[in-house]
């Protein structure tokens, strides 16, 4: 081969202006913010959609699902079929049963005859999926989101974090559409926030129960506040861990009773797509009235835990006497403060009696639930383009899509931030796969004109509302469903 001539050499060495400009990454079709169970479900189902490019970012270093509440023996409140994918795609490689198969545990699970799996097992299953999916990226904190009108896509600025949560590098990713699954945050009632924020005071949220368990057990007296499943599980674990006659545990709740969760077959139909569609179609003021009334659908205690608590209390009466345990519903904490070095004083009020008293305790566990994380900070630059209801909350369409100003042509989906528009099923694991399929169908319908996941037209025996109740309507509706 002949050597290049001098002019050829000069031509080869001449810089290309286009080469000096940074190459912009090809936008993802879908970028997810947050990798909890809901966005993990979406990532798993998206993995089977041909040609769809997707990425999911989470600031944590790896997946963990409520690690502070993985108490020994605690189980999910939904059946194992409500995994990440099965109710939308039973043949998915990311199903819970396939997880068991890869661990050579199908036969033990079969003989165990367990419909509700252990929380620790569900956590391990989700981590198996999160570790294997190529679209999930941890240690990536999403800082802000902007819309590039000229390019027709979103710009997502994010920070890469090291194992200690410190910033390592800054990045920018482009996406045509977004899905926000930033989850919920532990809720601490206002009267107890100063104590909960003081590191030396043993006032902890139940989300941090296991890391603080030994410290709590060393306390002379413990008070649990909150009547839901978490409060019941914490109370039971504390009760079992303290000697008979010296339990020194108090359990307080604002609800009028330590009530069982609604678990009848027809009651569970409130967690079907049929009810979600019905609820979304109601007027805003009706939806706002219904949500607090339905607390027993999702804030009660499963009957197995209630039974276990009563059995444990009863067992401690066999030798005579009563356990040193107080269970009082209908009580709210008005104010709280410190007494001396180790004491905590709670000022209580009983709703029905109208009476007040004070309780001195050594430690407090707040099983006071979670609140949706606000989206406004993340969507700061897009705030003016988000349409809102009369209460200032984002308007969310039936397909879990934020309603945006028409100048934003990209779509933003939300997961577990739409209870005010979609009802009690929004945070329920049982609807995870169905909602993910709805989102993907909406997206693939836009991109390819076809929906990827066939979904059933009817999911409940209950007919919510008067649609289809008329004598002439029922046969017609049933026939239409049979024709598919």
Q: Where in the chain is the domain with CATH 3.50.50.60?
A: 30-183+373-447, 187-258+326-369
Q: Among all chains, which residue has been given the structure tokens 């409130």?
A: 270
Task: For residue 468, name the pLDDT band (cuts at 50, 70, 90).
Answer: low
Report the C-alpha gap between 64 and 126 in whole angstroms: 8
Strand, coil or helix: what is 345? strand
Among the CATH numbers 1.25.10.10, 3.40.50.300, 1.20.58.390, 3.50.50.60, which is that of 30-183+373-447? 3.50.50.60
Report the C-alpha gap between 227 and 233 in whole angstroms: 10
| pLDDT above 90: residue 175 | yes
pLDDT tens, position by position, 94-121: 999 999 999 999 999 999 999 999 999 9
Provide Rg for the chain, Cα atoms. 26
pLDDT at 470: 67
Q: Count CB neighbours of 453 within 10 A.
A: 19
Strand, coil or helix: what is 313? helix
What string of DSSP letters covers 32-62? EE--SHHHHHHHHHHTTSTT--EEEEESSSS
- At residue 361, φ and ψ (nearest 5 deg) are -135, 170
pLDDT at 237: 98
Q: Count CB neighbours of 97 within 10 A.
A: 17
Task: For residue 298, name the pLDDT band (cuts at 50, 70, 90).
Answer: confident
Alpha carbons within 13 A on the beta-carbon side of 462: 17
Which burial class, exposed, middle or buried, applies to 208 when counting CB atoms under 10 A from its CB (0-12, 13-18, 19+)? middle
Q: Which helix (H) or strand (E) element contains residue 180?
A: strand 178-180
| pLDDT above 80: residue 6 | no
Among the CATH numbers 1.10.10.10, 3.40.190.10, 3.30.499.10, 3.50.50.60, which is that of 187-258+326-369? 3.50.50.60
Closest CA to 434 of 412, 457, 462: 457
Task: For residue 199, name the pLDDT band (cuts at 50, 70, 90).
Answer: confident
Query: What's the predicted TM-score (pTM) here?
Result: 0.90
Token couple for 328: 């009082």
Q: Among all chains, which residue has been given the structure tokens 């307080």?
A: 252
Using N-to-C axis directions, what is the helix angle for 303-315 and 229-240, rounded to 10°? 30
Mean of all residue pLDDT scores within the chain: 91
- At residue 325, φ and ψ (nearest 5 deg) are -135, 135
Strand, coil or helix: what is 415? coil
pLDDT tens, position by position, 375-415: 988 899 999 999 999 999 999 999 999 999 999 999 999 99
Report the C-alpha gap between 259 and 335 in whole angstroms: 25
Report the C-alpha gap between 102 and 304 in whole angstroms: 30
Q: Cβ distance 435 to 400 under 8 Å? A: yes
Q: Among all chains, which residue has been given the structure tokens 């049929």?
A: 274
Q: Cβ distance 58 to 136 under 8 Å? A: yes
């Amino acid at each position: 081969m002949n050597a290049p001539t001098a002019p050829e050499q000069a031509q080869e060495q001449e810089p290309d202006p286009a080469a000096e400009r940074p190459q912009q990454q090809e936008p993802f079709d879908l970028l997810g913010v947050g990798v909890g169970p809901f966005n993990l479900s979406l990532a798993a189902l998206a993995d089977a959609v041909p040609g769809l490019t997707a990425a999911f970012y989470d600031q944590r270093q790896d997946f963990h699902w409520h690690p502070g509440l993985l108490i020994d023996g605690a189980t999910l409140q939904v059946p194992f079929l409500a995994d990440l994918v099965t109710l939308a795609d039973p043949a998915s490689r990311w199903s819970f049963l396939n997880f068991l198969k890869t661990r050579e545990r199908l036969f033990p699970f079969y003989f165990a005859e367990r419909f509700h799996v252990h929380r620790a097992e569900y956590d391990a299953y989700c981590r198996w999926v999160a570790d294997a999916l190529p679209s999930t990226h941890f240690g990536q904190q999403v800082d802000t989101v902007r819309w590039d009108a000229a390019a027709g896509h979103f710009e997502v600025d994010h920070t890469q974090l090291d194992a200690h949560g410190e910033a390592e590098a800054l990045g920018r990713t482009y996406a045509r559409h977004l899905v926000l699954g930033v989850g919920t945050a532990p809720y601490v009632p206002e009267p107890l926030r100063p104590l909960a924020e003081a590191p030396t005071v043993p006032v902890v949220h139940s989300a941090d129960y296991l890391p603080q368990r030994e410290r709590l057990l060393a306390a002379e007296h413990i008070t649990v506040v909150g009547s839901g499943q978490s409060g019941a599980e914490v109370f039971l674990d504390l009760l079992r861990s303290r000697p008979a006659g010296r339990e020194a545990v108090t359990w307080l709740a604002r609800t009028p009773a330590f009530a069982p969760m609604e678990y009848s077959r027809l009651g569970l139909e409130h967690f079907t797509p049929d009810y979600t569609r019905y609820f979304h179609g109601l007027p805003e003021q009706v939806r706002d009235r219904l949500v607090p009334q339905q607390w027993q659908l999702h804030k009660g205690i499963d009957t197995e835990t209630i039974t276990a608590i009563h059995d444990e209390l009863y067992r401690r009466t066999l030798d005579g006497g009563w356990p040193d345990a107080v269970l009082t519903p209908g009580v709210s904490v008005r104010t709280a403060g410190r007494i001396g070095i180790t004491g905590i004083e709670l000022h209580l009020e009983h709703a029905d009696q109208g009476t007040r008293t004070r309780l001195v305790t050594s430690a407090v566990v707040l099983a006071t639930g979670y609140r949706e994380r606000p989206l406004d900070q993340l969507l700061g630059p897009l705030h003016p383009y988000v349409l809102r209801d009369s209460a200032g909350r984002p308007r969310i369409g039936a397909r879990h899509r934020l309603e945006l100003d028409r100048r934003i042509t990209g779509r933003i989906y939300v997961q577990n931030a739409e209870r005010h528009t979609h009802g009690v099923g929004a945070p329920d694991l049982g609807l995870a796969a169905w909602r993910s399929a709805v989102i993907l169908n909406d997206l693939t319908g836009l991109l390819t004109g076809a929906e990827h996941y066939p979904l059933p037209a009817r999911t409940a025996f209950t007919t919510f509302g008067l649609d289809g109740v008329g004598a002439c309507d029922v046969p017609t509706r049933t026939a239409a469903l049979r024709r598919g």
